[in-house]
Amino acid sequence: MELVREITVEEALNKGYRFIDTRTPEEFEEFHIPGAYNVPLFSAEERKKVSQVYYEKGEKEARLYALEIVGPKLHKIVRQIKEIKDREGKVVVYCWRGGMRSLAVAAICTLAGVSVPRLEGGYRAFRKYILNRMAEVLKDKKLIVLYGPTGSGKTRIIRALKEKGYPVIDLEGLAGHRGSVFGGIGLDQPSQKMFDALLWQEVERLKDAPCILIEGESRKIGRLFIPEPFWKAMERGEKIYVELPLEERVKISMEDYGVDRFPSTVYLEALSRIRKILGDEKFREIEGLIREKRYTEAVSELMINYYDKLYARSTPDSVKPYRVANLEEAISTVEYYLSSVCG
């Protein structure tokens, strides 16, 4: 009989296991299975030292050195996992690829009378599973893709309809970015792996919904890429386009981007990235407006000379625009469209 039992990602998810990540806090912070606990076997520094011994003296010496490090911590590790198991019922431990860290933790716990399985293939197997699962759920799913020029309040519309109970995925919220050259100001983006996991979680949540409303995005949001299965579903989805008057769009953008909450140097740094697109003359004009903190004029000029031209090139030609007077009318328009299309 094997000391440590392994279970697959599918079994763990379907049977309601809670995950315990045995990697370092730094690895956990970068990406982890959503909802997982972190009970690290090593700190980042300890893991580095074990790896150094492995490369200098071989696997046997590295294991002995690892045991020397974790020995004093074993009681604490087992105690933490027991507390989680008592609280959650069923738990499974994992590391990056189902290697020595999760094996060691599962074996130690089992020997101590706290029987826990480990995840077959670790996080790497989980990542493969969720990308395949995303493709499976989305293959026949109707996506409603909301387009509109910058400042049309698309994210606000998405969130307002989510509060009303409509099936919605907020891509920019998950990505921690507003999807433009100024879109990262004041926000932090997760890692690509974490973004993919969070997106899968949302897709899984809405797997039985008749449709899903999302905001039209380019393939890249900040430094993150929309996963291939989701991107293909977006491309074949139904499109709706809303457009507000320029003055309304400027007002919404001023609020959403937190204009005037950050030093002008922050905006100038972002502006410098589109100098070639704007041309030197228009760049200097907008640069001057920002330095003088004439932000309303600067945003208006950016709308006309950058964002609207960029959005016109990326918006599908077949989309019929709904021109509305304000955000409230935009929300009502999309809600009506969503109700009629999704039933």
Cα(267)–Cα(272) distance, integer angstroms? 9
Q: Average of pLDDT values for 33-38?
A: 98
Cα(214)–Cα(220) distance, integer angstroms? 15
Residue bearing tokens 């809670």? 18
Find out if CATH 3.40.50 is the number for domain 139-342: yes
Domains 6-128 and 139-342 agree in fold: no
Length of the chain: 343
Model confidence pLDDT, tens digit, residues 172-227: 999 998 877 787 777 789 999 999 999 999 999 999 999 999 999 889 999 999 99
Q: Is 291 helix (H, G, I), strand (E, B) or coil?
A: helix
Q: Is 182 helix (H, G, I), strand (E, B) or coil?
A: coil
Model confidence pLDDT, tens digit, residues 122-137: 999 999 999 999 999 9
Q: Is 0.95 surpassed by the pTM of this model?
A: no
Residue 1 pLDDT > 70: no
Tokens at 198, concatenated:
């969070």
Question: What are the backbone dihedrals phi and psi of residue 324, each rounded to the nearest 5 degrees, phi first?
Answer: -125, 165
Q: Positive or negative, the Cα torsion across 29, 31, 36, 40?
A: negative
Mean per-residue pLDDT over the chain, rounded: 92
Q: Is 119 helix (H, G, I), strand (E, B) or coil?
A: strand
* 27 band by pLDDT with thresholds 50, 70 and 90: very high
Residue 80 pLDDT > 60: yes
Positions marked active-site:
95
Fold designation for 6-128: Oxidized Rhodanese; domain 1 (3.40.250)
* 258 band by pLDDT with thresholds 50, 70 and 90: confident
Q: For the chain, what percent of residues have pLDDT higher than 70?
A: 99
User: 308, exposed or middle or buried, with CB in 10 Å at 0-12, 13-18, 19+?
Assistant: middle
- Provide the residue ranges of all domains of the chain, joining segments of one domain with +: 6-128, 139-342
Which pLDDT belongs to residue 60? 85
What is the maximum alpha-carbon separation in the chain?
Answer: 76
The mean-pLDDT minimum among 3-17, 58-72, 137-151 falls in 58-72
Which pLDDT belongs to residue 217? 85
Q: What amino acid is encoded at 297 in this protein?
A: E
